[in-house]
């Protein structure tokens, strides 16, 4: 996992907002202190977030696949 990547934050949610100037898919924060606001990001490779509310996404979450899992095309639990 990349170090403190915004993409790996447990509070990151995605939504659709047709009026957004950045496109219809928006990155939203679900942390109680920022709920409903945009995630501060950034969403760039090799650039960790400076967000003080960041917490790692639980590894048991089915959508949390490591880079090696994605390369092999397998699910995190080892199922193919």
Task: Give the footprint of ligand SF4 on this chain (CB under 6 A).
Answer: 6, 9, 11-12, 29, 31, 34, 39-40, 49, 51, 53-54
**Closer residue to ligand SF4, CB minimum distance, 21 or 49:** 49
Min. distance of Cβ 56 from ligand SF4 in angstroms? 10
Asked if 61 and 55 touch (Cβ cutoff 8 Å), the reply is no
CA distances from 53 to 11, 18, 19, 40 (A): 9, 27, 27, 10
**Closer residue to ligand SF4, CB minimum distance, 50 or 70:** 50
Residues 6+ apart with CB under 8 A from 54: 4, 6, 9, 11
Min. distance of Cβ 19 from ligand SF4 in angstroms? 21
């Amino acid at each position: 996992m990349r170090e403190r990547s915004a993409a790996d934050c447990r509070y990151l949610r995605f939504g659709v907002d047709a009026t957004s100037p950045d496109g219809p898919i928006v990155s939203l924060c679900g942390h109680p202190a920022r709920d409903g606001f945009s995630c501060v990001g950034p969403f760039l490779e090799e650039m960790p977030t400076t967000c003080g509310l960041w917490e790692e996404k639980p590894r048991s979450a089915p959508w949390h696949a490591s880079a090696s899992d994605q390369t092999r095309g397998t699910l995190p639990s080892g199922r193919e």
